[in-house]
A and B are shown apart, each in its own frame.
Chain A
């Protein structure tokens, strides 16, 4: 039985200083009993012969000098079990859904060890999300971490939900699961997610962690790690393909900054701690595949860029760790296009490994290159039209202009429940490309044009 100390000598912000203890391990879990009998939990932040500094998860309100402090002798562990599928837990991993307690099959350290680079397997299995602007232009593969860079007021939640609903691997009949970690989102947003999970039956194969906006900020640092530990168990112990949605990384980073400031650390860029890069990497890098293991972890972190600024430290550092990004566009959203994915600013760095014959289709790369080029040219022309008017354009230019509009209107735009196969996406791409003069399709091999071009192939 752990000893209880009543030797608090200082409380500052979220930190409690305890004196005259026996040797306490760094990172140990702490239970503090308040005079009214309620308890709070915390973690050891700094331990020495003289004093132990405890960071309290639920805030220090109500703690007095006489409160009892108990060190639990172990670091934060996550009890995991297959039964967690279908459950809703709070940001600390306790059930919120009035269901039975979870009987753990294993208790795992939440600070995951790094995957040995030698043990990693190349991610190359195409995931069909049913969203053309992702599947066709920024293809996702299993084991990838692909964040959604969004902004306040954009429907990134809907995009994430649609991906969670529709994501599948072609031809495969494998077990898959969704792990959803909410960090500091409003209860309204949380309910929106929950409702959708219930509506579509996705909840049965999901584990949900909710740290809401009014939950302690410090708990936000735990939530994604609990979620990822669960995901690792499902993926690498049980062989499931796990999709992890983390929202919102910006709230997480704010919490990191808040705690850093409370610890009086020297801040780096914009007040965020200097170790934010490593800290974010320790989450994002928990995606991937492992040789000789069936399962995989694919991550979809969502982050709202403060002021839509992509060079802000949070998106900037994220972009250096993740394999690309899906950028949500305010312009498209204003035009009423859903999903408002800015194809030209989005990127999937693992796309090349996941497409082509045997994975998607032989013409995928060529079609996507040509769509990119055509859309870019059409967008450039919009600027010109604003100055000289559409009449001044050549016939060829007008075709490109129309192409860009049609691309947004038909290729990017789709219904929230519209699940397009990769064939449908590519066929749609060809249909749009047929609006352009044949001799401008320079990025596509002759043989693909003869095989797939709607007006050429009939002849």
Chain B
């Protein structure tokens, strides 16, 4: 780390402070004034340094000291991240509360990682081994996973010694021949993406067990999705279901500029959730980052970067990480505010002209990659957008939609009708379906995609027919079209609706999703044939197998039931005389 330099303040104007006597690099972190407020260098003019301070600057006066830390905004990476609750610049909120009470006062710092806690370290390299960037030095059990201790990017050479035992994050666990000391902890600048060997195609789905997502609008591991974050659409439940059930091992939730009382809901409900795979608390593989709207704006701007850097660190261990950024609109708002304080020329709606670039830079940090430690890891990002006044044409939403490949349209109308998850099947989309097709063909079923397309088509037809029905009533439609309406209804009520609170229904494996939709499709084909033989629709829709299809999703024996009902269905249709 560079040496620390000290200078003096020459001007204070709100959060923008000018200093003299230091020569930092752009975006280096400086500590301002006697309170040591954290700030970031945002402009260098002549001998003057312009600093954006993260906290309120009241009482700071010219002449006070400014210390250049010689490094940009960094996070601490090491064991102890999981189950932590941080603010936007990685200060642990529970520790802050313990140290200084219920309010976050100024100039206080607490290290991101607990300095006292000891971790049981088992080396995986030995004396004489040649190590390089990202090598796995050893393992530490952390929360619900194994934490792989990675060599920092500047650690290269032969291992001189390394020991097992219990260590704090700062203890030296080994040395290289060069004298380089190895520790459990490392630091990384948040605005810089952590490197990887190469990016891979996102051709494996992030299996969520949520039928509407997996079958109709799949997200790939390493993919990006956006959800509109209007309140009351079930955003919280959806993100909790994803955290619980998706096959990502690590979950990171960034609450960026959200309401304090809403953040409280997340902070109180998350620790109560159980990880269904291990039975342990879900927090054991979760990191929460909370920066409410009244916490310093610069920290809000940083929070998203803090989150993605932590995500990258676990990705580098070879894990699949899912990151929820809630909400990217508040993040953009923070950019707008800082930009206007810097008196930059505004772009659309006062947002800075670099809004689109920042957003795409951020989303580009996710993906499925080959990592230096040898394996493959991924970061999937789900970004909530909360367009003001529900106007989707505003710049943040538009720029986001241009980048992300999946849009899960949470819909308050569906919520009002108690259709959960309230994801609108007509306005949502996923561009990953074609890339993932191969995977589904190999791992689930040969005709996965046909079934998917059939379901989409039926739903689309339904919406067209609904328009007619509203004008003339459904009785005026021919039998075949009424059948389409009935089948679409089955898809909606049986398949798309899924209860997050029901023990069986809350998670649906891919194979079961496929079997279930296939059974509905089979019903539809049988029925079509029957109608062509002039069997009245009433007789078809009152067949016991139709009702059975709806009920079986709540049964423990659902997989066997599906087979039974399908066999029954064939018999019942045969008995119709078709």
B-binding residues in A (CB < 8 A) = 23-28, 45-49, 74-75, 109, 111-123, 143-144, 236, 265-266, 268-269, 273-275, 277-278, 281-282, 284-288, 290-291, 293, 310-311, 316-317, 320-323, 347, 349-350
**CA A286 – CA B264 in complex, angstroms?**
14
**CA A38 – CA B293 in complex, angstroms?**
40
Binary per-residue interface labels of chain B (333-362) against chain A in the complex, 1 for a CB within 8 Å, 0 otherwise: 100110111011010011000000000000
**Does B265 make an interface contact (CB < 8 A)?**
yes
Nearest A residue (CB) for B339: A274
Partner of B336, one of A75, A117, A123, A274: A274
Nearest A residue (CB) for B105: A113
A-binding residues in B (CB < 8 A) = 10-14, 18, 56-64, 85, 87, 93-94, 96-97, 101-106, 231-232, 255, 257, 259-265, 267-268, 290, 292-295, 297, 330, 333, 336-337, 339-341, 343-344, 346, 349-350, 386, 388-389, 391
Partner of A120, one of B105, B263, B339, B344: B263
Query: Which of B11, B62, B97, B339 lies at the interface centre, i.e. has the most chain A CB atoms within 10 A of its CB?
Result: B62
Residues of B within 8 A of A287 (CB): 261
Assess whether A277 is in contact with B292, with CB atoms less than 8 Å apart.
no
Query: Which of B12, B57, B97, B294 lies at the interface centre, i.e. has the most chain A CB atoms within 10 A of its CB?
Result: B294
Contact status of A120 and B264, CB under 8 A, knowing A49-B10, A310-B389: yes
Partner of B11, one of A46, A288, A291, A322: A46
Assess whether A116 is in contact with B102, with CB atoms less than 8 Å apart.
yes
Assess whether B264 is in contact with A285, with CB atoms less than 8 Å apart.
no
- Name the distance in Å between A270's Cβ and chain B's nearest Cβ: 10
10 A–B contacts from the bound complex (CB under 8 Å) = A25-B60, A48-B13, A115-B104, A116-B101, A118-B267, A236-B102, A274-B339, A277-B337, A286-B294, A347-B232
Nearest B residue (CB) for A46: B13
Partner of B264, one of A23, A24, A117, A269: A117
Q: How many A-B residue pairs have CB under 8 A?
A: 182
The 4 A-B pairs of least Cβ separation, nearest first, read A274-B340, A48-B11, A27-B58, A285-B294
Nearest A residue (CB) for B55: A113
Assess whether B62 is in contact with A49, with CB atoms less than 8 Å apart.
yes
Assess whether B337 is in contact with A26, with CB atoms less than 8 Å apart.
no
**CA A293 – CA B101 in complex, angstroms?**
12
Assess whether A266 is in contact with B340, with CB atoms less than 8 Å apart.
yes
Contact status of A115 and B102, CB under 8 A, knowing A48-B11, A278-B294, A285-B294: yes
**CA A349 – CA B344 in complex, angstroms?**
36
Residues of B within 8 A of A323 (CB): 259, 261-262
**CA A202 – CA B301 in complex, angstroms?**
43
- Name the distance in Å between A362's Cβ and chain B's nearest Cβ: 18
- Name the distance in Å between B237's Cβ and chain A's nearest Cβ: 12
Residues of A within 8 A of B267 (CB): 117-118, 120
Residues of A within 8 A of B59 (CB): 25-28, 74-75
Assess whether B104 is in contact with A269, with CB atoms less than 8 Å apart.
no
Nearest A residue (CB) for B268: A122
Residues of B within 8 A of A281 (CB): 257, 292-294
Residues of A within 8 A of B339 (CB): 274
Assess whether B297 is in contact with A26, with CB atoms less than 8 Å apart.
no
Partner of B261, one of A120, A278, A316: A120
Assess whether B93 is in contact with A118, with CB atoms less than 8 Å apart.
yes
Assess whether B337 is in contact with A119, with CB atoms less than 8 Å apart.
no
- Name the distance in Å between B303's Cβ and chain A's nearest Cβ: 12
Not counting A114-B295, A115-B104, A285-B294, a sample of 10 additional A-B residue pairs whose C-beta atoms are within 8 angstroms of each other reads A46-B13, A47-B12, A121-B264, A274-B336, A275-B341, A277-B333, A281-B257, A281-B294, A287-B261, A310-B389
Residues of B within 8 A of A316 (CB): 388-389
Assess whether A114 is in contact with B292, with CB atoms less than 8 Å apart.
yes
- Name the distance in Å between B375's Cβ and chain A's nearest Cβ: 34
Residues of A within 8 A of B333 (CB): 277
Partner of B341, one of A49, A74, A236, A274: A274
Assess whether B340 is in contact with A23, with CB atoms less than 8 Å apart.
no
Assess whether B103 is in contact with A115, with CB atoms less than 8 Å apart.
yes
Contact status of A116 and B346, CB under 8 A, knowing A24-B61, A25-B59: no
Query: Which of B12, B97, B297, B388 lies at the interface centre, i.e. has the most chain A CB atoms within 10 A of its CB?
Result: B12
**CA A25 – CA B12 in complex, angstroms?**
8
Nearest A residue (CB) for B263: A117
**CA A266 – CA B340 in complex, angstroms?**
6
